[in-house]
Amino acid sequence: MVRTQIQLTERQAKIVKAMAKAQGISAAEIIRRAIDELMQSNLMVDEANKRARALRIVGRFRSGRHDISKNHDAYLSEAYRK
């Protein structure tokens, strides 16, 4: 493991210590687990994964309009007026 130093707000430190005590583990383990969860969440999706996810939805939605590429500004303006 790599030793590092972080600064927490008083509220964060209090909550981390309480969670650690309740779970019978160290505050460091609470922080490591939180980082692991963050890395697994959508907040840490790499660019290739973002692109693949975006491409999977292409063509799944239909507006019924066939001139979107020509009139997208008008449609967008109309949508924001609602």
Q: Does the residue 79 lie in any domain?
A: no
Q: Is the pTM of this model over 0.85?
A: no
40 part of a folded domain: yes
> Could you tell me if residue 73 is inside a domain?
no
- Asked if residue 14 is part of any domain, the answer here is yes
> Domain limits at 33?
7-58
Q: Is residue 2 part of a domain?
A: no
- Gap between the Cα atoms of 74 and 80, Å rounded: 10
What are the distances in angstroms from CA 36 to CA 11, 39, 40, 54, 58? 21, 5, 6, 24, 31
Residue 44 lies in a domain: yes
Count of domains observed in the chain: 1
Handedness of CA 12, 14, 17, 22 (dihedral sign): negative
| Vertex 46 angle, CA 41 and 8, to 5° | 50
More confidently predicted of 23 and 49:
23
Residue with the bigger pLDDT between 29 and 82: it is 29
Residue 72 lies in a domain: no
pLDDT at 51: 87
